[in-house]
Amino acid sequence: MGILLCAGLIASAQGNLQIRPLANEQNIVLVKEAKKYLLLPVQDNAPEGKVYIIVNNQHQGVAANVRLAREKVDYYVPLDLSEYEGQDISIDVQGMPESSLCWKKISLSDTFDTTNREKFRPVYHHTPSYGWMNDPNGMFYKDGVWHLYFQHNPYGSTWGNMTWGHSTTTDLVNWKFEGDAILPDAWGSIFSGSAVVDYGNTAGFGEGAVIAFYTSAKSTPWGDTQTQSMAYSTDNGKTFTKYEHNPVVTSVKRDFRDPKVVWYAPGKHWVMVLAGGQEMEFYSSKNLKDWKYESSFGAKQGAHGGVWECPDLIELPVEGTKEKKWVLICNINPGGPFGGNAAQYFVGTFDGKKFVNESPTQTKWMDWGKDHYATVTFNNAPAGRCVALGWMSNWQYQAVLPTMQFRGSNTIARDLTLYRQDGELLLRCAPSAEIEQAREGKTVIPSFKVSDSYELPSLIDGNEGAYEIDMTIKNAGASRIAFNLENGKGEKVKMYYDVMRKQFVMDRSESGKVDFSTDFPAVTVAPTPETDNIRLRLFVDRSSIEAFGEEGKFVMTNQIFPSEPYNKMSFVSVRGNFTVKSMTVYRINY
Ligand code: FRU
C-alpha cells in the first residue's frame, strides 16, 4: 500500500492516509480505501480552512469550513465518506499550514464516538450530539413522533456550514439524533425555516409528504443573498429531495429569511410568513410552489431594537371562552429586554392575507430570561395543541459558552394558550405535560414557615443537577419572598418575588462560571400577576434554569454554569412572613 510520490515528497503518512503539501497552505490528503468517516481534528479557536472531497477530479458537494487543529485538538468531527467506502479518493484542504497538528491526528474510522464528555450537557433538554446548534427548524408532529430539525454545524462547535440536523422524540423529553437531513448546496447554506405535512397533496409530492421550507443563504464577493427554497420527504422526514426549481421566493432584501408555512383552513390555502428586515411579510399559495406577496406587518409595532427573525403564526384559544385569536411570534436580535435576543409576540386577527395587531402600544415578551430565542411551534401537533420550543441561548455569548463537544440546547417544550388579564390578551407558556412522565424519584419537603430565614441543606439524593422543583407559597405580609439555589462552593442563583412591584427576579451573577462574557452575569425581571398565592416550577438541568410562574403566566429561562450542582436552598423573608405550603423536588434523569 502507499501511494508513490516523486523523490520522497510525502510529508506524512499514516495508515491509509498520505498528506501531500502544496504551496500557499494547501494540502491534498490521499485516501486509500475510504472508511465510513474521516475524523477531522478541530481547534475551536483556529481560523477556518476549506475541506472538499474530490472523486474523479471533481469536488463533491460544497466545501466544509473546518477549524482544523493547528496547535491542539479540542475535539473531533466526522467527515462522512460512507458513499465512497472502499474507494481511493482525495481530500482538498485549503488554508491550513503544513506545520499544523491536524496532519498528525487526522484518521479514517468506521465509527464516530458521540459519548458525552461534558458535565454541562443537559440531561432532559435536546442538544446536538456534537457540533454547534442554534434555532429549532422545521418542527412537525406525525404518527406519534415529534420531529425537530435544527441549525447545525456538523464540523465544529462554532457557527458555520448551516445544515438542518434532525432529532426525533415520542415524549418531548428523550431525543434521538437522526443525522443531518438538509445539506448546503449551490444556493447556499441552509438557514432556518419550517415544515408542513401535505395531507391534501397540494404540492403533488404525495399525500402526507413532509415539505420543508428554508432560507438558502449565499455569500459571494458581491455580497450576501437570501432566498427561500423547499425540499420534500416521502419517508416521514428522514430524507429530503430538494425541489428542482428552487428558490421559490426571492427578494433584493439582504435580510429575508426564516419561512414559516401554515395552512389557512378558511381560505383553503397556505401562508408563508417571512422575516424581512424589521418586518414580517405574508405570502399565500395553493400549491406550496408558487407564492404571492400579500402584506407586511411591523412598522410602529412592538420592539425594533434589532433584526426581526424566525416568525410564527398560530391561532390559539382564549382560556375560558370559545374565542380564538391569532398570535404572531416575532423573534428579535438584538433588542431583547435584557440585551441580545428575545421573542416578542403580537395578538390580533388574521384573514389569510393580513395580520392586524389589536394592542399596538404594548411590547409583549414570551419569556423574561436571557436565553430564549428563535422560538417557534410544531406544525400538525395532536389534539389541537400548540407546542413551542426555543433555542436556549443568546447570540451575545453562545460562541464562547464553556462547552466544547457541543454548543447549544433547546428549552423544554411549552404548550401555548391565551388568557385575558386586565383586558389584555397574553400568552401562557406552560411546561408541556410530557415532562411529568420523565420524573424519577422525588423528595417531598414538609410545609415550613419563613419569618426571617430558613435553610434546606439537601434538595434531592444523588443530585446530578437535573431536577424540577414544584412549590406553592402563601404570602403573609412579606414584601420580598427570596430564595437562593446554592452549591457547596458558594455559587448561587438568587431569586425573589418583589411584592410591591409584582415582579419575579433572577440574578445569575454569582451562579458559577460567568466570566467568559461580560454579557453573561445578569439580573432578569418578569412581571407576575400573583404574589399572594404563588405557584412556581423551576426546571434545573445542569446548565439551565427555567422558571414557570402560575403555570406559564410568566417564564424566565437562563443558562447557568455551576462547578457542581446546586443542592441547597435558602429562603429569606423581608418584613412579614410566608409559608412554603408545598414543595416537591423531582429528579429527571434520562
Ligand atoms: C436566528 C438566525 C436566523 C437564521 C439563522 C442562521 O438565530 O439568525 O434568522 O436563519 O439564525 O443560522
Ligand 1 geometric centre to CA of 481 (Å):
38
Which residue has 457547596 as its cell numbers? 488
Q: Which residues of the chain have pLDDT under 50?
A: 1-10
pLDDT on residue 1:
39
pLDDT on residue 582:
98
In short, whether 188's Cβ falls inside 6 Å of ligand 1 is no
Nearest to 311 by CA among 328, 296, 287, 294: 328
- Tell me the three state secondary structure of residue 382: helix
pLDDT on residue 14:
74
In short, whether 135's Cβ falls inside 6 Å of ligand 1 is yes
In short, whether 374's Cβ falls inside 6 Å of ligand 1 is yes
- Per residue in 11-68, pLDDT (tens digit) is 566 789 999 999 999 999 999 999 999 999 999 999 999 999 999 999 999 999 999 9
> Looking at the domain 3-109, which fold is it?
Immunoglobulin-like (2.60.40)
Residue of 44, 80, 113, 135 with catalytic role: 135
Cβ pair 188, 225 in contact under 8 A:
yes
Compute the mean pLDDT over every residue in the chain, rounded to the nearest whole number. Answer: 96
Single-letter code of the amino acid located at 543: S
In short, whether 257's Cβ falls inside 6 Å of ligand 1 is yes
Cβ pair 393, 420 in contact under 8 A:
no
Percentages helix, strand, coil for the chain, rounded to the nearest 5? Answer: 5, 55, 45
Domain spans in the chain, listed from the N-terminal domain onward: 3-109, 131-431, 439-588
pLDDT on residue 12:
61
In short, whether 280's Cβ falls inside 6 Å of ligand 1 is no
Residue whose CA is at the smallest distance from ligand 1 atom 8:
309
pLDDT on residue 265:
97
Q: Tell me: domain 131-431, CATH 1.10.3300.10, correct?
A: no
Ligand 1 geometric centre to CA of 124 (Å):
24
Ligand 1 geometric centre to CA of 215 (Å):
9
Ligand 1 geometric centre to CA of 310 (Å):
7
DSSP string, 245-305: T--SB--S-SSEEEEEEEEEGGGTEEEEEEEETTEEEEEEESSSSS-EEEEEE-TT-S--S
Which atom of ligand 1 is least distant from the CA of 192? 10
- Tell me the three state secondary structure of residue 168: strand
pLDDT on residue 465:
96
135 is catalytic: yes
Ligand 1 geometric centre to CA of 374 (Å):
8
Which atom of ligand 1 is least distant from the CA of 191? 10
Superfamily designation of domain 439-588: Exo-inulinase; domain 1 (2.60.120.560)
pLDDT on residue 361:
85
Q: Who's near 20: CB < 8 A, 6+ residues apart?
A: 5, 9, 10, 11, 27, 28, 29, 30
pLDDT on residue 110:
97
